[in-house]
């Protein structure tokens, strides 16, 4: 055994779920209650010493309801494990914790990373643009790597490269579980190749992490889902609740040809509000305010791109006007960037619930923020929004959970150094805050453009579908305009999709992990799936207790720890079984 193999063999993976369950069975709830009743002086000691650190596992069953303090703003469910525990499933759980599985999983994920599946903004239609053909070898790899999945599940291709897998359940009355990921990756610019520690398509494993484009966004989630299904099949698991897998292929370019065709395909087959739960890529688990917190995304911000086109007379650059079209565009961009959207934490924004969770469970939650949170009382309508302003001091990643963002990302104009530019264009990206709308962004940018148009004697065509005209400023909404996503319910009263997801997290990682609702600043393929389920979660379940951040997604040195990946496999295996037994209310 070489040094790398020795390191792999000794990596800790996850808490032993079966061991947790055995410990829970040994504890006696009624004995504890009797002791507390008879020994009042020991109540506080017992509570802090035994009850909190050893929260008992919850098993499925009609009498196994969740328990939490009635006044809690952030109730936590008990760790949840499935009641169906055949010898094969117990052996599977043990195998997923073994170094043998870890070593084989490295090979599966590394092999997926080694297949280039970049998607580009200028891709043409599927079937016409040859660059889509990179997905053919990726599909072949999946079929070779997961033989049981392809033998037992119905596999369908939508718009050539979209993949839908159906694991038919025995009870048609139960709404299906849908698990999602995307096959494509963002491109790797040639100019950055020499900046990579290990080549972006190498799938290199350094003893701890797998390197390469797609390793953390999000071939790791796609491979983990298929691994969990493969080993459940091998263990003889047969679901009562149908399990669907849906893998798009152009999420990185807004998903129009991938998820945009997959979602209607599933909707036509099953109908509106037909799925029990949807889990796609998203937020994960991190250390916040001194506590480990899982923040599955239960909402997403809205989206709109505004295209600004300025047309002005051309001519020789030796006789220029005071301001060329580029100069006028620069002035307008300066006004746009200077006029930021106000910070506002809407009462429906899930980040408010996350703050309540921090205040209730985190030992290092800021005192000033806690006081403002008490004053807000869930309304968050103060002007200026002091709570949002205080929370935003944590940095841009938090700030933009409560603020519409503006980013001028694309600009072009001018063709020759001695010719005045006749046409200049810029594209301004907006991510719309909860409680606001894309129309608000359109109105705001139109107001600023009106000032500039008047100043320079230009006509203004504002979102009126007018063809570009000479001496004018034209504003159009580019491609997809998206309202902020519907917020997924997060009640844990009874058995809900959120409580099953939460209980699965705490079963795998321990009851010290706090689950809180999260919100995504970016958009996922779930934007096409709103009609299919009220319960949509954007969640990356892998966590290794060490790594932080997003694994360098969308930049050089993208990578993921193998411990993170193995935990992802274990979580999906657990979640599929927990959902299968869930009596959703």
Residue 58: is its pLDDT beyond 80?
A: no
139 is in an annotated binding site: no
| CA end-to-end distance (rounded Å), the chain | 52
565 is in an annotated binding site: no
Neighbour count for residue 374 (Cβ, 10 Å): 10
Q: Mean pLDDT, the chain, as a whole number? A: 88
Would you list the DSSP string of 82-104? -S---HHHHHHHHHTTSHHHHHH
The percent of residues above 70 in pLDDT, for the chain, comes to: 85
Q: 143: pLDDT confidence band, cut at 50, 70 and 90?
A: very high
Please, are residues 240 and 169 in contact by the beta-carbon 8 Å criterion?
A: yes
**Pairwise CA distance, residues 132 & 118, whole Å:** 9
The percent of residues above 90 in pLDDT, for the chain, comes to: 81
Would you list the DSSP string of 7-43? HHHH------HHHHHHHHHH--HHHHHHHHHH-GGGH
Query: What mean pLDDT comes out for the span 540-545?
Result: 93
CATH superfamily of 87-299+486-494+508-580: Zn peptidases (3.40.630.10)
Query: Could you give phi then psi for residue 205, rounded to 5 degrees?
Result: -110, 125
Residue 226: is its pLDDT beyond 90?
A: yes
pLDDT for 478: 85
Q: One of 251, 281, 385, 544 is an active-site residue; which one? A: 251
pLDDT for 439: 97
Reading the block at residue 390, the tokens are 């205080």
Return the H-helix or E-strand segment holding 373: helix 367-376
Reduce the DSSP state of residue 174 to 3 states and report it.
Answer: coil
Q: 72: pLDDT confidence band, cut at 50, 70 and 90?
A: confident
Would you list the DSSP string of 306-317? EEEEEE----BT
Task: Give the number of residues written for the chain.
Answer: 585
Residue 549: is its pLDDT beyond 70?
A: no
Residue 66: is its pLDDT beyond 50?
A: no
CA-closest candidate to residue 552, choices 227, 214, 277, 312: 214
Return the H-helix or E-strand segment holding 278: strand 277-283
217 is in an annotated binding site: yes
pLDDT tens figures, 331-341 = 999 999 999 99
Residue 41: is its pLDDT beyond 70?
A: no
Residue 155: is its pLDDT beyond 70?
A: yes
Query: What mean pLDDT comes out for the span 457-483?
Result: 93
pLDDT tens figures, 370-383 = 999 988 764 555 55
DSSP 8-state code for residue 176: P
pLDDT for 471: 96
pLDDT tens figures, 405-452 = 999 999 999 999 999 999 999 999 999 999 999 999 999 999 999 999
Q: 585: pLDDT confidence band, cut at 50, 70 and 90?
A: low
Query: What mean pLDDT comes out for the span 281-303?
Result: 96
288 is in an annotated binding site: no
Measured N-to-C along each axis, helices 367-376 and 350-361 cross at an angle, to the nearest 10 degrees, of: 130
**Pairwise CA distance, residues 77 & 218, whole Å:** 28
Give the residue with greater pLDDT, 243 vs 381: 243
Query: What mean pLDDT comes out for the span 276-280?
Result: 98
pLDDT for 4: 37
pLDDT for 551: 63
Residue 52: is its pLDDT beyond 70?
A: no
pLDDT for 35: 35
Residue 291: is its pLDDT beyond 70?
A: yes
**Of 160-174, 349-363, 367-381, the least confident:** 367-381
Is 493 part of the annotated catalytic residue set?
Answer: no
Based on its alpha-carbon atoms, the radius of gyration of the chain, rounded to whole angstroms, reads 26
Reading the block at residue 222, the tokens are 């796609």
pLDDT tens figures, 80-96 = 999 989 999 999 999 99
Supply the pTM of this predicted model. Answer: 0.86
Reduce the DSSP state of residue 141 to 3 states and report it.
Answer: helix
Please, are residues 499 and 535 in contact by the beta-carbon 8 Å criterion?
A: no
Domains 87-299+486-494+508-580 and 302-337+405-484 agree in fold: no
pLDDT for 525: 97
CA-closest candidate to residue 243, choices 182, 181, 169, 183: 169
Please, are residues 99 and 8 in contact by the beta-carbon 8 Å criterion?
A: yes
CA-closest candidate to residue 566, choices 163, 205, 200: 205
Q: 482: pLDDT confidence band, cut at 50, 70 and 90?
A: very high
Reduce the DSSP state of residue 292 to 3 states and report it.
Answer: strand
Q: How many Cα atoms occupy the beta-carbon half-sphere of 75 within 13 Å?
A: 16
Is 322 part of the annotated catalytic residue set?
Answer: no
Residue 146: is its pLDDT beyond 80?
A: yes
Q: 248 forms bridges with which residues in the sheet?
A: 182
Q: 32: pLDDT confidence band, cut at 50, 70 and 90?
A: very low
- Spell out the domain ranges in the chain: 87-299+486-494+508-580, 302-337+405-484, 342-403
Query: What mean pLDDT comes out for the span 485-497?
Result: 95
**Pairwise CA distance, residues 268 & 566, whole Å:** 35
**Pairwise CA distance, residues 455 & 458, whole Å:** 8
280 is in an annotated binding site: yes
pLDDT for 550: 61
Q: 465: pLDDT confidence band, cut at 50, 70 and 90?
A: confident
Residue 31: is its pLDDT beyond 90?
A: no
Q: Which CATH architecture has domain 302-337+405-484?
A: 2-Layer Sandwich (3.30)
Report the 3 state secondary structure along 538-563: EECCCCCCCCCCCCCCCCCCCEEEHH
């Amino acid at each position: 055994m070489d040094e790398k193999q020795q390191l792999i063999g000794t990596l800790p993976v996850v808490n032993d779920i079966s061991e947790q369950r055995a410990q829970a069975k040994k504890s006696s709830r009624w004995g504890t209650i009797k002791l507390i009743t008879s020994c009042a002086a020991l109540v506080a000691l017992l509570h802090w010493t035994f009850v909190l650190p050893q929260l008992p596992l919850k098993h499925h069953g009609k009498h196994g309801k969740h328990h939490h303090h009635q006044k809690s703003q952030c109730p936590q469910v008990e760790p949840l494990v499935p009641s169906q525990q055949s010898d094969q499933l117990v052996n599977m759980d043990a195998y997923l914790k073994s170094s043998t599985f870890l070593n084989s999983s490295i090979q599966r994920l590394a092999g997926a990373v080694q297949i280039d599946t970049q998607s580009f903004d200028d891709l043409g239609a599927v079937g016409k643009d040859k660059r889509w053909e990179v997905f053919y070898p990726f599909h072949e790899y999946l079929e070779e790597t997961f033989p049981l999945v392809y033998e037992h599940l119905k596999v369908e291709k939508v718009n050539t490269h979209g993949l839908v897998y159906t694991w038919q359940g025995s009870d048609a009355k139960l709404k299906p579980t849908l698990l999602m990921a995307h096959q494509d990756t963002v491109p790797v610019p040639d100019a950055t190749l020499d900046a990579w520690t290990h080549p972006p398509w190498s799938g290199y494993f350094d003893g701890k992490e797998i390197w390469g484009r797609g390793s953390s966004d999000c071939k790791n989630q796609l491979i983990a889902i298929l691994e969990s299904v493969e080993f459940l099949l091998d263990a003889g698991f047969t679901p009562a609740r149908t399990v669907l897998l849906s893998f798009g292929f152009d999420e990185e370019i807004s998903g129009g040809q991938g998820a945009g065709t997959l979602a209607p395909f599933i909707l036509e087959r099953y109908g509106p509000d037909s799925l029990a739960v949807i889990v796609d890529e998203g937020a994960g688990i991190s250390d916040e305010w001194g506590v480990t917190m899982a923040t599955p995304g239960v909402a997403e911000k809205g989206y709109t791109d505004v295209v600004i086109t300025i047309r002005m007379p051309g001519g020789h650059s030796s006789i220029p006007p005071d301001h060329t079209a580029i100069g006028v565009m620069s002035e307008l961009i300066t006004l746009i960037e200077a006029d930021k959207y106000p910070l506002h934490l809407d009462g429906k924004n899930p980040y408010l619930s996350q703050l309540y969770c921090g205040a209730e469970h985190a030992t290092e939650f800021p005192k000033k923020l806690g006081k403002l949170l008490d004053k807000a009382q869930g309304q968050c309508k103060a002007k200026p929004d002091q709570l949002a302003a205080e929370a935003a001091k944590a940095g841009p990643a938090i700030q933009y959970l409560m603020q519409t963002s503006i980013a001028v990302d694309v600009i072009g104009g001018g063709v020759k150094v001695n010719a005045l530019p006749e046409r200049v264009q810029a594209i301004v990206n907006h991510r719309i805050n909860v409680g606001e709308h894309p129309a608000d962004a359109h109105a705001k940018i139109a107001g600023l453009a009106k000032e500039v148009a008047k100043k320079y004697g230009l006509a203004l065509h504002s979102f009126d579908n007018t063809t570009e005209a000479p001496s004018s400023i034209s504003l159009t909404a580019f491609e997809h305009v998206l309202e902020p996503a519907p917020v997924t319910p997060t009640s844990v009263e009874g058995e809900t999709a959120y409580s099953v997801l939460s209980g699965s997290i705490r079963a795998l990682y321990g009851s010290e992990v706090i689950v809180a609702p999260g919100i995504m600043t970016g958009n996922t393929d779930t934007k096409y799936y709103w009609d299919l389920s009220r319960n949509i979660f954007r969640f990356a379940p892998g966590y290794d207790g060490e790594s932080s951040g997003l694994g360098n997604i969308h930049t050089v040195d993208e990578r993921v720890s193998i411990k993170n990946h193995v935990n992802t496999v274990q979580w999906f295996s657990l979640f599929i079984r927990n959902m299968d037994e869930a009596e959703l209310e």
